[in-house]
């Protein structure tokens, strides 16, 4: 599909790309690019395999700028990335996309955007902005989930929700890597090494870079937050185990003298006068109760219970 960059983004059917009086956008498949990339007159022979794309980046060539996009799915960050490539010069940009992801973004821009000063730079700004436009809400949701998880930990109810912490941490890591790559891409466009862009329009790429940098900082902060929550959970586990050990120690301390009494009078020596005394049994009971009460009072006073 081919689009004209005018007051609006509109489809058109080009006869040739030699002397088009306006800047254009093209979205083609990888096979079509291999068969007919020369018609765009970008002076490159680029055999791109979309399956081999692993990152978002841009590379400067003599007569063009080429690059790739690997964009995490916002519906499932741990799933497969959207992968496509691009090549551009001062006349326009060609997206090489077998999935249709780039086409959906362009169609949305065509429906919603109207340009006062149409230019390739403004379209690229809108394209990059469309990739990240919902990310603030996504990050806010992660922040809310982490806040709720922290509250559950403090209430001692986080055994189930803590299982999601590893997934959240991985998602944030993928987003942070994605933002770092977008920052590099935006900076490469802003440098304008081939002078494809008007100097006063380079600000669009600087603006995108600033927004992506903000998202990068937010995800980095949340990533640190996940570490704090994990440490808090471990601390709560340690406290819980310490409380259990304290209770066991108290119980052991209380029953130790009782065990001594039981063992002492269980020796069954013949000449143990207490065994022949009628009040011996109630006296032992009273002494045992006294030991338990005194021990409990002592532990309460020491705040061990």
- In this prediction, residue 246 carries a pLDDT of 80
CATH class of the structural domain 2-237: mainly alpha
Tens-digit pLDDT profile for residues 145-193: 888 888 888 887 766 667 788 888 999 999 999 999 999 999 999 888 8
Split at pLDDT 50, 70, 90, the class of 305 is: low
Name the pLDDT band for 131 (thresholds 50, 70, 90).
very high
Domains of the chain by residue range: 2-237, 265-301
Largest distance between two CA atoms of the chain? 123
pLDDT-derived band at 70, boundaries 50, 70, 90: very high
Whole-model pTM?
0.79
In 3D space, the residue among 133, 112, 95 whose CA is nearest the CA of residue 3 turns out to be: 95
Distance of alpha carbon 237 from alpha carbon 247, whole angstroms: 15
Taking the CA atoms of residue 32, residue 38, residue 43 and residue 49 in that order, the dihedral angle to the nearest 10 degrees is 20
Q: Evaluate if residue 3 carries a pLDDT over 80.
A: yes
| Tens digits of residue pLDDT in 100-123 | 999 999 999 988 888 888 889 999
pLDDT tens track for 71-89: 998 888 888 899 999 998 8
Q: Which residues of 150-166 are buried (b: 16+ CB within 10 A; e: fewer)?
A: bebbeeeebeebbeebe
3-state SS class at 90: coil
Percent of the chain with pLDDT over 90: 28
**What pLDDT is stored for residue 59 in this prediction?**
87
Over the chain, what is the mean pLDDT? 86
H/E element holding 66? Answer: strand 65-71
| Confidence grade of residue 143 (pLDDT, cut at 50, 70, 90) | very high
């Amino acid at each position: 599909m081919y689009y004209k960059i005018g007051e609006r983004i509109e489809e058109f059917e080009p006869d040739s790309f030699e002397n088009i009086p306006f800047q254009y956008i093209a979205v083609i498949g990888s096979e079509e690019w291999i068969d007919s990339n020369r018609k765009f007159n970008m002076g490159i022979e680029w055999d791109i395999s979309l399956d081999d794309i692993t990152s978002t980046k841009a590379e400067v060539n003599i007569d063009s700028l080429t690059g790739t996009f690997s964009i995490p799915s916002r519906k499932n960050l741990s799933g497969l990335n959207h992968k496509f490539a691009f090549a551009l010069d001062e006349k326009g940009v060609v997206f090489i996309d077998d999935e249709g992801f780039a086409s959906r973004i362009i169609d949305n821009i065509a429906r919603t955007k109207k340009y006062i000063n149409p230019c390739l730079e403004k379209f690229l700004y809108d394209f990059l902005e469309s990739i990240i436009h919902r990310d603030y809400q996504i990050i806010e949701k992660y922040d809310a989930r982490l806040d709720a998880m922290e509250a559950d930990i403090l209430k001692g109810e986080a055994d189930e929700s803590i299982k999601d912490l590893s997934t959240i941490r991985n998602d944030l890591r993928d987003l942070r890597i994605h933002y770092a790559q977008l920052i590099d891409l935006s900076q490469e466009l802003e440098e304008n090494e081939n002078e494809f862009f008007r100097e006063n329009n380079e600000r669009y790429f600087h603006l995108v870079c600033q927004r992506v940098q903000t998202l990068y900082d937010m995800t980095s902060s949340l990533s640190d937050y996940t570490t704090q929550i994990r440490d808090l959970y471990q601390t709560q586990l340690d406290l819980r185990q310490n409380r259990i050990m304290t209770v066991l120690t108290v119980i052991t301390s209380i029953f130790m003298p009782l065990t001594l009494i039981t063992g002492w009078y269980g020796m069954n020596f013949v000449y143990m006068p207490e065994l022949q005394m009628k009040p011996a049994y109630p006296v032992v009971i009273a002494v045992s109760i006294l030991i338990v009460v005194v021990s409990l009072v002592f532990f309460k006073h020491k705040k061990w219970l």
